[in-house]
Structure 1
Amino acid sequence: MRAAIYRGPGEITVEEVPKPEVESPTDAVVRITHTAVCGSDLWFYRGQSDREEGSRVGHEPMGIVEAVGEDVRSVEPGDRVFAPFVVSCGHCEFCRKGLHTSCVNGDSWGGDNGGGQGEYVRVPTADGTLVRVPDRHADDEDTLEALLPLTDVMGTGHHAAVSAGVGEGDTCIVVGDGAVGLCGVLAARRLGAERIVAMGHHEDRLELAREFGATETISARGEEAIERAIETTYGGATHVMECVGAASAMETAIEVCRPGGTVGYVGVPHGVNEDGLDLFGMFGDNITLSGGVAPVRAYAEDLMADVLQGTLDPSPIFTKTVDLDGVPEGYRAMDERDAIKVLVKP
């Protein structure tokens, strides 16, 4: 089979690798039909986080079950499925609490199980990981493209909204106009927010935020952006969603949070440890910080129900589509901000 491989900063190749096979009774092998390039992939692509050279990449798989181990009960060959960005067993202490990203039997997609940007993956603990798409929707391309973001960015944006405590009639601020931030706008609208202020730096993305339900957008930078957000919300928002991960974004989120409010953070942290956070400011204003890596498996069925009934469609975040050979170009496009998120159809 062929799969995308990390060969060092700025270098993704597509190479022949061994096809994964069922190795244990709880495994499934899935033929990938849809996957994506994630904004978090850009950290190692840019050399800003460690990754082993020669490792397979990608963590947002959707496809058709090809084979299952003898203990697998929830899916069978021929089923259309998608999987969150981490593998989870579904029955340990943390999975039962809905914290699948802390699964004691968890795994990633970057090892010998195939990597998400390839032709096949092996799914350990298939019953706890895979989400089956109902047969009547299994071949509807528009529906499948709307479901694919549930593997990561839609579930992550939803986690930001949930962590920030967004509810009916609320005012919230979304920091970040990438795929996660845009999905955060969708999530806030879905949860009933009355005012959604989207903050970012790209007019085309902020226009999509408006289409997704943002009532106001702010494209300024630095202190000007903070001042405008505070002015727009008459003193800041009680619910703030940090969807970037950079230290500057976290600082912005804290600054625009109203005293007694909550910052729901889901951006993969970069630069925060080095630069530090103003904990005194949070302490003085009784600001709660809630969130972390999103347990998207916990949200998958609820979000899928909305996609299938036509009330949720995050697919416009895909602004470029490539085949497997085009994955290196997909990374380049996202790195240079030529695409919000790249859809891959192997």
Structure 2
Amino acid sequence: MRASLIYGAGDVRVETVPDPVVEQPTDAVVRVVRACVCGSDLHPYHSLEAREQGIPMGHEAVGVVEETGSEVSGVGEGDLVVVPFAFSDNTCPICRDGFHTACPHGGFVSGAQAEYLRVPQASGTLVTVPGGRDGVDDDVLASLLTLSDVYLTGYHAAVMARVRPGHTVTVIGDGAVGLSSVLAAKRLGAERIILMGRHRARTDLGREWGATDVVAERGDEGVAAVEELTDGLGSQVVLEAVGHMPAYEQSHGVLRPGGVISRVGVPQYELAGVGFGSLFGKNATLTGGPAPVRAYLEEHIPLVLDRTLEPGRVFDRELPVGDTPEAYRLMDSREALKVMVRP
């Protein structure tokens, strides 16, 4: 099969590799129908040291089950499934608490930017789409794909921040996760949503999805702009969808005392301010983490199927798997918001 591998910063290649097989009785092999490039994939694209052995890339997929191990139940050959970016057993106490990304029998999916994918813990991980592949239009397929990561990551940010009606929410970042956070905050009833981003095509979609204000400035100027919009009070909730320290510092700067910062951008730093001049002094809460999308899938698949929810609009390019290196280039150069990859 063809698969995408990364060999170092800026070096993504599509190669022919052996097809995956069932290795454990709890595995399934899925034929990938749609995959994509994630903003978090750009971190190794920027910084991975050169290596002789390529790393399989991609963790978001919708596909059709081709084969299952002897202990797999609940999904079978021919089922259309959403593949969460983390696999889990869905039965342990941590999964029952709703934090599947910390499952002691789980891990993170890799290799989805390919024609086939092996999924461990298939019974607990894969979620079937009623009706199967037939009759699912491309736009619905795109929205189902966002449920494997990007939309439900934005939703998780809002859930962990306990967004509720009447809240003022500031979203840091106008990438796909940031825009998904806007949509999720709106669905949870936020009264005012301030989107901090500077790319007009993206912020326009953010406005369509519920952003009431857009702030293009960054740093101290951005903080001052949010303070002006909020009569000097700041934002009760900040959803940080970038992962770099300046975004965290901006989050703290615009936060109202007593507020919540919810981070879902993969942190590219190890420490964040927790002393008197930061979280302590503001009585602030810091939350967020890898989104347990498996916990939210059953609730959201019907909303996508009846088009109540259309987060697939974050995809503005679609390329065949053989052109995956170009997909990385387009996203890295910000010529594309999010690129879908198909067989």
Alignment-derived partner of residue 45 in structure 2: 45
Task: State the one-letter code of the partner of 1:101.
Answer: T
Task: State the one-letter code of the partner of 1:22.
Answer: V
Alignment-derived partner of residue 61 in structure 2: 61
Partners of 2:256 and 2:49 in 1: CA distance: 33
1:124-182 CA-partner distances (Å, limit 9, x unpaired): 11111101111167532221111111111111101111111111222111111011000
Contact 1:25 1:72 in 2 (8 A): yes
Partners of 1:210 and 1:95 in 2: CA distance: 35
Contact 1:82 1:131 in 2 (8 A): yes
Alignment-derived partner of residue 241 in structure 1: 239
Q: Secondary structure at the match of 1:151?
A: coil
Alignment-derived partner of residue 131 in structure 2: 135
Deviation at 1:41, TM superposition (A): 0.3
Deviation at 1:24, TM superposition (A): 2.4
Identity score, percent = 49
Q: 2:335 aligns with which of 318, 334, 338?
A: 338
Alignment-derived partner of residue 218 in structure 2: 221
Contact 1:203 1:219 in 2 (8 A): no
Q: Secondary structure at the match of 1:326?
A: helix
Q: Number of paired residues?
A: 340
Partners of 1:344 and 1:209 in 2: CA distance: 23
336-345 or 229-238: bigger deviation? 229-238
Check if 1:301 corresponds to 2:283.
no
Unaligned runs of 5+ in 1: none
Contact 1:247 1:272 in 2 (8 A): no
1:180-215 CA-partner distances (Å, limit 9, x unpaired): 000000100111111111011212211110011111
Q: 2:268 aligns with which of 267, 270, 280?
A: 270
Unaligned runs of 5+ in 2: none
Q: Secondary structure at the match of 1:185?
A: helix
TM-score of the pair, normalised by structure 1: 0.94
Partners of 1:291 and 1:62 in 2: CA distance: 25
Q: 1:195 aligns with which of 187, 192, 195?
A: 192
Partners of 2:176 and 2:99 in 1: CA distance: 22
Q: Secondary structure at the match of 1:259?
A: strand
Task: State the one-letter code of the partner of 1:152.
Answer: D
130-139 or 36-45: bigger deviation? 130-139
Q: 2:326 aligns with which of 315, 325, 329?
A: 329
1:295-323 CA-partner distances (Å, limit 9, x unpaired): 11111121222212322111111111100
Alignment-derived partner of residue 118 in structure 2: 122
Alignment-derived partner of residue 26 in structure 1: 26
33-42 or 53-62: bigger deviation? 53-62
Cα 1:325–1:136 change in 2 (3 A) is: closer
Alignment-derived partner of residue 88 in structure 2: 88
Partners of 2:4 and 2:245 in 1: CA distance: 30
Alignment-derived partner of residue 77 in structure 1: 77
Partners of 1:50 and 1:286 in 2: CA distance: 44
Contact 1:57 1:109 in 2 (8 A): no
TM-score of the pair, normalised by structure 2: 0.95
Deviation at 1:254, TM superposition (A): 1.0
Partners of 2:42 and 2:121 in 1: CA distance: 28
Deviation at 1:95, TM superposition (A): 1.0
Partners of 1:284 and 1:149 in 2: CA distance: 37
Partners of 1:228 and 1:51 in 2: CA distance: 44
Alignment-derived partner of residue 310 in structure 1: 307
